[in-house]
Amino acid sequence: MLVVNVLADRGQKLEPADREALDAAAAERSRTVFKRCADYVPTPLFSLPALARNLGVAGIDVKDESARLGLGSFKALGGAYAVIRLALEAAEAALGRPVTLSELDDPAVRAATSKLVVASATDGNHGRSVAWGASLVKCRAVIFLHAGVSAEREAAIARFGAEIVRVDGNYDDSVAASEKACADNGWTLVSDTSWPGYERIPTLVMEGYTAMGAEVVDQLPQPPTHCFLQAGVGGLAAAMAGYLSLAYCEKAPRFIIVEPERAACLLASHEAGRPVKIDAEEPTVMAMLECYEPSLVAWRILSRVAHAFMTVDEASAPEVMNRLGRPIGSDPAIVSGESGGAGLAALVAVLADPKAREQLGLDAESRVLLFNTEGATDRDLYTRLTQLDPDRVVASRRAAAPV
CA distance linking residue 204 with residue 220, whole number of Å: 25
CA distance linking residue 262 with residue 264, whole number of Å: 6
Q: Which helix (H) or strand (E) holds 242?
A: helix 235-248
Q: Identify whether the C-beta of residue 75 lies closer than 8 Å to the C-beta of residue 124.
A: no
Q: Considering 61, 123, 331, 378, which one is annotated as catalytic?
A: 123
Q: What is the crossing angle of helices 79-95 and 200-219, to 10°?
A: 130
How many angstroms separate the most distant Cα atoms in the chain?
63
CA distance linking residue 90 with residue 306, whole number of Å: 36
Q: What is the crossing angle of helices 296-305 and 200-219, to 10°?
A: 40
Sorted by sequence, the CB contacts under 8 Å of residue 46 that are 6+ apart come out as 61, 62, 64, 331, 332, 334, 400, 402, 403
β-pairing, 59-64 with 45-47? antiparallel
E-assigned strand segments in 65-183: 117-122, 140-146, 163-167
Q: Identify whether the C-beta of residue 365 lies closer than 8 Å to the C-beta of residue 226.
A: no
* Residues facing residue 120 across a β-bridge: 143
Phi/psi at 167 (5° precision): -125, 135
Q: Considering 18, 63, 64, 75, which one is annotated as catalytic?
A: 75
The answer to whether residue 75 is catalytic is yes
Q: Identify whether the C-beta of residue 289 lies closer than 8 Å to the C-beta of residue 260.
A: yes
Sorted by sequence, the CB contacts under 8 Å of residue 110 that are 6+ apart come out as 104, 138
Active site residues: 75, 123
